[in-house]
Chain A
Amino acid sequence: MNDKENDPIATLVRLAGRRPGVDAERTARVRAAVADEWRASVRRKRWTRVAVAAAIAATIGGVLLTRPRSEPSAPVVEARELTTPGDATTSVEWNGGTLRLDRETQLRIDTARTATLIRGAIYYANDTPGVAVTIHTPFGDVRDVGTRFEIRLRDDALRVRVRDGAVIVRDTTARAGTELVANRTAVTSRSIATSGEEWAWIENAAPPIVLEGKSLDEVLQRIAIEKGLTLQRSGPDQTLHGDVPLSVSEALDAATAAAGVTYRIEGDRLIVRGRS
C-alpha cells in the first residue's frame, strides 16, 4: 500500500480531519429509546409467530393424535383447515414430511394422509419412505409416491410441478422435472427446471436452519435440496457452530464463510470449493 506523503487518499483523509462524533449523552438517549422500540417489536413478532404456530400445531396435532376405528393406516378425523394470509407463508410437519403453504392458501386436512387444496398452492416434501399422501383438488387427486412436489390451484386448472420422485394425477404420472396441467377435460405435461425463481416461495417458506453441531456436508445437502440444486463439493467435512436460526440463503452464506470455502451456482449445480 502506498502510504507516502503524496498518497492522495491519505492526503484527503488528513485534510478532512476526523468526522465529528456525537455527544455520548445524546447517543445513550437515542440508543435506549431505539433499543426499547426494537425489543418491543421483536416481542410482538415472537408472539404472533407463537400464536400462528400454536394454531397450526393444534390442527396437525388433532390430525395425528386422533385414532381411527375403521382404517388403521389412514385415520379419519374431523376436518381442519390451514389458511395463510396474503403476506405470509408457512411450513408444518405432516406425515414425517414438510408441508408448505404459499400466501393466500387454504388447505383442509381430511385424514392423516389426505388433504383437500381449496385455493392457493402447497409444496410437500415427503421424507418418509412408504408413507404416501393424496391431495384432493377440484381437478382430480394428486397422489404422491415418495417425492417433492408443488400443487397450485387456479380457477380453471390444476398445476403440479415435480421436483423429485413422482406423483400421479388422474392416471398420468409426472416425474422429476415435469409440470402437469390438468383442467376439466385434459392433462398436459412439459419439462421444467427444478430450481429458479418459480420455486423461490418454497425456499422462503422452509423451516429455519440452525448450524450448531451439524456437518458442513449435511447443511450444504439440505440447502441444495431446498434450492432444487445438485451439490458438487470437494474438500474435507467439518462441524459447524452457531445457534441463530437462519434462512436457506443466510445459512449458505454463513456456513461457507465459517468453513472457509466459496460457492457459486451454475445452472442447477451448487458448486462448493475450498479457497485457492
Chain B
Amino acid sequence: MTIEHADRFLVARLLRGDEEAFTEFFDRNFAPLYRFALPRVADEDAAEEVVQTTLCRAVRKLASYRGEAALLTWLTTICRREISTYFEQRKKVPPMIDLSDDLPEIRAALESLGPEGTVQRREVARIVQLVLDRLPGRYGDALEWKYIDGFSVAEIAERLALAPKAAESLLTRARTAFRDAFQAAYGVNP
C-alpha cells in the first residue's frame, strides 16, 4: 500500500468513527505539526492554539481529503493558513525565521550555500529533524531508536509489534526515504 493509500485508508476509518484510527491520526501528526508551527509563531501557547485549530478544522473536512498528497502535507497546508489567520487577527507581524522547509526558493538559497561544512551545524540539525518529521509512518521514530537510542532490530521490532525481518525491512525503507527527503530538502546526498 502506498503512503497516500494508507492515509486514505486511515481517513476512511476516521470518517466511520473508528477510535483507534483517531489515536493513530493524532499520535502521528500532532507533534510534527506542533514542531512545524512553533518556530513560525515563536510562542508555545500560540503554537498549541494554531495546531488545535488546524486539527479541528481538518477533522471537520476529512471528507475532502483525496489522498493526492500525504496526510501530513495536507495538514501542513491547513496549518499555514491558520498561522496567517492567527497573525491577521492579532494584527501582528510574524517573526523573521528561516522557512527553508516551507518555500522552494528559500530551499534553493540554502542549497546555494555550498558544501555541508559551511552551513552551521544547528541548521543541519534542524533540517534533519524536519526530514524525520516528514517521513511516512514510524520511519522517523525507527531511525531515532536505531541511531540515537542504539536499539537493536529486535527491540525496534518489539516496539513496532513487527517480526524482526519486517522491522529490518522497515529500517531499510526508512533509510532510503530519509536519503531521498534529505536530498530534496538540502540538495546533497547524506
Binding site for B on A (CB under 8 A): 1, 3, 8-10, 12-23, 26-27, 29-31, 33-35, 37-39, 41-42, 45-46, 244-247, 250, 253-254, 257
Given contacts A19-B132, A20-B35, A41-B60, A254 and B51 within 8 Å (CB-CB): no
**Inter-chain contact A247/B12, CB cutoff 8 Å:** yes
Q: B67 → chain A, closest Cβ, in Å?
A: 10
**Inter-chain contact B34/A8, CB cutoff 8 Å:** no
Q: B12 → chain A, closest Cβ, in Å?
A: 5
Main secondary structure of the interface of B (DSSP, over half): helix
Q: B93 → chain A, closest Cβ, in Å?
A: 25
Given contacts A9-B143, A18-B144, A250-B8, A30 and B55 within 8 Å (CB-CB): yes
Given contacts A42-B17, A250-B8, A34 and B147 within 8 Å (CB-CB): no
On chain A, the residues within 8 Å of B59 by CB distance are 34, 37-38, 41
**CA A15 to CA B17, docked complex, whole Å:** 41
B88 at the interface (CB under 8 A from A): no
Main secondary structure of the interface of A (DSSP, over half): helix
Pairs A-B, 10 closest by C-beta atoms: A16-B128, A38-B59, A16-B125, A13-B147, A37-B56, A42-B17, A34-B55, A10-B147, A8-B190, A30-B52
On chain A, the residues within 8 Å of B128 by CB distance are 12-13, 15-16
On chain B, the residues within 8 Å of A244 by CB distance are 12-13, 16, 18
**CA A100 to CA B106, docked complex, whole Å:** 50
**Inter-chain contact A29/B55, CB cutoff 8 Å:** no
Known: A9-B147, A19-B129, A34-B55. 13 other contacts (CB 8 A): A1-B175, A9-B143, A10-B146, A13-B148, A16-B124, A26-B44, A27-B31, A34-B52, A41-B62, A42-B15, A244-B12, A244-B18, A253-B5
Q: A4 → chain B, closest Cβ, in Å?
A: 12
B179 at the interface (CB under 8 A from A): yes
Contact for A250 among B12, B26, B190, CB less than 8 A: B12
**Inter-chain contact B168/A1, CB cutoff 8 Å:** yes
On chain B, the residues within 8 Å of A30 by CB distance are 30, 48, 51-52, 55
B73 at the interface (CB under 8 A from A): no
**CA A42 to CA B59, docked complex, whole Å:** 9
Interface CB pairs A-B, < 8 A, 26: A1-B171, A1-B172, A1-B175, A8-B190, A9-B179, A12-B124, A13-B144, A13-B148, A13-B178, A15-B124, A16-B126, A22-B35, A26-B48, A27-B31, A31-B26, A31-B30, A33-B52, A34-B26, A35-B22, A38-B22, A38-B59, A41-B62, A42-B17, A244-B12, A244-B13, A250-B12
On chain A, the residues within 8 Å of B18 by CB distance are 244
**CA A34 to CA B121, docked complex, whole Å:** 36
On chain A, the residues within 8 Å of B175 by CB distance are 1, 9
**Count of interface residues, chain B, beta-carbon cutoff 8 Å:** 50
**CA A19 to CA B72, docked complex, whole Å:** 17
Closest to B190 in A: A8
**CA A253 to CA B179, docked complex, whole Å:** 27
Q: A37 → chain B, closest Cβ, in Å?
A: 4
Given contacts A9-B190, A37-B56, A253 and B1 within 8 Å (CB-CB): yes
**CA A46 to CA B14, docked complex, whole Å:** 12
On chain B, the residues within 8 Å of A20 by CB distance are 35, 129
Closest to A2 in B: B175
Q: A255 → chain B, closest Cβ, in Å?
A: 12
Contact for B133 among A12, A19, A35, A254, CB less than 8 A: A19
Q: A42 → chain B, closest Cβ, in Å?
A: 4
On chain A, the residues within 8 Å of B133 by CB distance are 19
**CA A13 to CA B140, docked complex, whole Å:** 10
B87 at the interface (CB under 8 A from A): no
**CA A67 to CA B121, docked complex, whole Å:** 82
On chain B, the residues within 8 Å of A19 by CB distance are 31, 35, 129, 132-133, 140, 144
